[in-house]
Amino acid sequence: MNRVGLVVSLIALIGSSVVFAAVAFKVSRDSKSAAVGHGSEAVVDPEYQKLPADSESDWLNDFTLTERSGKTVRWSDLAGKVRVVSFFFSSCPANCLRQNMQVHDIEQAYIGKEVVCVSITCDPDVDSPERLAEYAVKLKATPDQWLFLTGKLIYIRRVAGELFSVALDKQTHTERLIVCDKWGKIRGTFMWNKLDEMAKLRLLVDKLIAETEPPAEEKSS
């Protein structure tokens, strides 16, 4: 082979190598992109896509959150108790503190009875179990009768919306106290900063304590 032919062959070989490398890079990049896209769908946030305990529906009818003690608490664990649910965050300097003073009065009024107060943070990045434990001590909350719960914000949003029909975002929450019966059904909501509504809340709690079976409409469902 003469010199010219050799040069032409080398150029052709280099050119084909470049083309092959480019094609291989594109295939590799596309494969990685597809993998990342698939992975993103799988791990958007497992807590947001988490199914309720029965795994039969994508609409929550139970929850799993962490209490200030570090123990896991499920909504269904509270069966048989009247529940007064509220949302708050510990760094709130005014309204949340006043709200929780009202919850404290409710908790104290029903010491030793089948009533539990459930306060769920809307700032879980700050409100770790340890911080909530300190907060509960300041409020003189009775363990087991007043629970302080935390988890992931995206999951707590679902808990608020799907179980309690209220909107929630970071450091943003309803000012209503939500009263649920022994079977976990909402029976009334009350503004914590209105004395007449707090009186109605107590009357409802008294009524629910006395119940031994679900209301007729619940039994037929």
137 pLDDT more than 60: yes
In a domain, 169, yes or no: yes
In a domain, 101, yes or no: yes
Residues 34 and 75 in one domain: no
Higher pLDDT, 7 or 38: 7
b/e per residue 104-126 (b: at least 16 CB within 10 A): bebbeebeeeebbbbbbbbbbee
Domain total of the chain = 2
Residues 81 and 179 in one domain: yes
Residues 15 and 120 in one domain: no
In a domain, 72, yes or no: yes
Helix (H) or strand (E) holding 103: helix 95-109
In a domain, 97, yes or no: yes
Residues 7 and 91 in one domain: no
In a domain, 221, yes or no: no
The CA–CA distances, whole Å, from 144 to 88, 117, 118, 131 equal 18, 9, 10, 17
Residues 96 and 13 in one domain: no
Q: What whole-number distance in Å separates Cα of residue 16 and Cα of residue 28?
A: 18
Instruction: Please name which of 60, 58, 74 lies closest in space to residue 151, comparing C-alpha atoms.
Output: 74
Q: What whole-number distance in Å separates Cα of residue 181 and Cα of residue 176?
A: 16
In a domain, 220, yes or no: no
Could you please report the per-residue DSSP string of 2-66? Answer: -HHHHHHHHHHHHHHHHHHHHHHHHHHHHHHHHHHHHHHHHTS-HHHHPPPTTSS-SS-SS-EEE
Mean pLDDT of 85-98: 95
Mean pLDDT of 19-34: 36
Positive or negative CA dihedral for 145, 148, 152, 157? positive
Bridge partner residues of 147 (DSSP): 118
Residues 27 and 74 in one domain: no
* pLDDT confidence tier of residue 51, bands split at 50, 70 and 90: very low
* Percentage of the chain lying above the pLDDT 90 cut: 68
pLDDT at 58: 74
6 pLDDT more than 50: no
Q: What is the pTM of this model?
A: 0.74
Residues 190 and 102 in one domain: yes
Residues 187 and 124 in one domain: yes
Domain that holds residue 22: 1-43
Residue entry with tokens 């509220």? 86
217 pLDDT more than 60: yes
Encoded tokens for 53: 């305990």
In a domain, 5, yes or no: yes
Residues 28 and 107 in one domain: no
The CATH number of whichever domain residue 187 belongs to comes to: 3.40.30.10
Residues 102 and 16 in one domain: no
Write the secondary structure of 115-136 as one string of H (helix), E (strand) and C (coil). Answer: EEEEEEECCCCCCCHHHHHHHH
Residues 122 and 176 in one domain: yes
In a domain, 49, yes or no: no
Residues 106 and 11 in one domain: no
